[in-house]
Amino acid sequence: MQDIKWTANRMPASKDEHLAVMSVENVAAVRHFHESFPQYDKTPLAILSNMAKTLGLGGLYVKDESYRFGLNAFKVLGGSFAMARYIAGEVGRDISEMTYDYLTSDQLKEEFGQATFFTATDGNHGRGVAWAANKLGQKSVVHMPKGSSKPRFDNIAAEGALVTIEEGNYDECVRMAAAGAEKTPRGVVVQDTAWDGYEEIPAWIMQGYSTMAAEAVEQLKEAKADRPTHIFVQAGVGSLAGAVVGYYANLYQDNPPVFVVMEAQIADCLYKGALAADGSPRIVDGDLQTIMAGLACGEPNTISWDILRNHAGFFVSCPDWVAAKGMRMLAAPRGGDPQVISGESGAVGMGLISVLMESDDYRSLREAVGLTKDSRVLMFSTEGDTDPENYRDIVWNGKCPSV
């Protein structure tokens, strides 16, 4: 069984110029946009009080994104907002005018017409882009990496996208999407991977993710829970992690939580960059095969990387068994706690938190992070059973055992 690897953040700080992307004001505008959708509702915040007691924590809170817009994952938040920001710029309107009613109106058809949105995905982001394009009367083209699951492919195709499974990995599919958009009249790349010369849309996608984090703040207050002391957030290219860390760093400027960033071990580019400790990102290549398909990305988002190098406390490289353990725990909670159907990329936080609290093999990490009986921990289950067959293999049949 592979070991969990970790490092504290010892990187030199940058000028922190990208933190403003996730300002409280920007997040409020994003929330206003999402609330205009008829499909909008807050996703649940599962309060796992008995699990917290079992593990020796003061509180454990899981944001359950399996309910988001009926799409079983959070990714639609980013793609939909980025598309709206792009359209706003094309028609010369403010984002505050980009309501669902306007974006689906005959007026928009006259003012904007139709574009084709290109993206690469393991499943959830592509489905979100395809869904938003379908609802807004736009076109979408989606490239999926080698090994992508048939159910995720079918869900994207059902939204009217032109979707393919390629022979390359995720990062190669990103380059394929960019090349396709360049050749297509009114072709637009909607990708959360940022690189030099392509940062505006990835920043908008990151902002879109913030609705989830802002809802969690409100729900914690409603539950009479204080500010979380620790936030565990997973990372592929790092856009979600950068969005969550950036928003909460802005919100709790005087007393930020401890931020723990988790990756799939086969694609742990952020961990490797943090381990090098020189402030420069690292790239991981290869097939990147892992059950955490949503985290199988080897090239960091440059905007997110800058936020994380300044504000993340720890970077953790997790083998597949950590996510599988988390899936099983959330599916069979302690008596009285709500069940969370959490997919492979959504449950890694639960698996890691449980290992840290229960195993002396990782006592050094537990103590470094500062997890105690007074800790209030927030994590994000970013997807449900988006690959139902694999979910059953793990939860029912014990695939990827932790012992």
> Starting from the edge strand earliest in sequence, which strands make up the sheet with 5-8, in order?
5-8, 314-318, 258-264, 230-234, 376-381, 59-64, 45-47
CB-count burial class (<10 Å; 0-12, 13-18, 19+) for 31: middle
- How far apart, in whole angstroms, are the C-alpha atoms of residue 209 and residue 128? 12
Rounded to two decimals, the pTM is 0.96
Active-site entry in 64, 122, 268, 385: 122
Return the pLDDT at 194: 84
Q: What is the DSSP string of 172-197?
A: HHHHHHHHHHHHSTTEEE--S--BTT
Return the pLDDT at 403: 78
Using alpha carbons, list the distances in angstroms from residue 167 to 120, 135, 143, 212, 252. 13, 30, 10, 33, 44
Return the pLDDT at 305: 97
Q: Which pairing describes strands 162-165 and 314-318: parallel, antiparallel, or unpaired? A: unpaired
| Domain extent listing, the chain | 5-75+201-395, 78-197
- How far apart, in whole angstroms, are the C-alpha atoms of residue 387 and residue 397? 15
Q: Which pairing describes strands 59-64 and 376-381: parallel, antiparallel, or unpaired? A: parallel
Active-site residue, 122 included: yes
Structural Rg of the chain based on CA atoms: 20
Residue 334, number of CB atoms within 10 A of its CB: 14
Q: Which of 72, 65, 66, 80 is nearest to 34 (CA)?
A: 80
- How far apart, in whole angstroms, are the C-alpha atoms of residue 236 and residue 226? 29
Contact 235, 382 (CB under 8 A): no
Return the pLDDT at 348: 98
Return the pLDDT at 1: 83
Active-site entry in 42, 53, 64, 75: 75
- How far apart, in whole angstroms, are the C-alpha atoms of residue 256 and residue 347? 23
CATH assignment of 5-75+201-395, among 3.30.360.10, 3.30.230.70, 3.20.20.80, 3.40.50.1100: 3.40.50.1100
- How far apart, in whole angstroms, are the C-alpha atoms of residue 252 and residue 36? 27
From first CA to last CA, the distance across the chain in angstroms is: 8
Return the pLDDT at 45: 98
* Per-residue pLDDT of the chain in tens (403 residues, 90 and over written 9): 899 999 999 999 999 999 999 999 999 999 999 999 999 999 999 999 999 999 999 999 999 999 999 999 999 999 999 999 999 999 999 999 999 999 999 999 999 999 999 999 988 899 999 999 999 999 999 999 998 989 999 999 999 999 999 999 999 999 999 999 999 999 999 998 888 889 999 999 999 999 999 999 999 999 999 899 999 999 999 999 999 999 999 999 999 999 999 999 999 999 999 999 999 999 999 888 999 999 998 999 999 999 999 999 999 999 999 999 999 999 999 989 999 999 999 999 999 999 999 999 999 999 999 999 999 999 999 999 999 999 999 999 999 998 7
Return the pLDDT at 109: 94
Q: Which of 187, 85, 88 is nearest to 77 (CA)?
A: 85
Given this chain, do its domains 5-75+201-395 and 78-197 carry the same CATH topology?
Answer: yes
Return the pLDDT at 110: 95
Can you name the CATH fold of 78-197?
A: Rossmann fold (3.40.50)
Return the pLDDT at 123: 84
Return the pLDDT at 53: 97
Active-site residue, 75 included: yes
Q: Which residues are within 8 A (CB) of 33 and not within 5 positions of it... i.e. 6 or more apart?
A: 80, 81, 84, 95, 98, 99
- How far apart, in whole angstroms, are the C-alpha atoms of residue 243 and residue 210? 6
Return the pLDDT at 286: 87
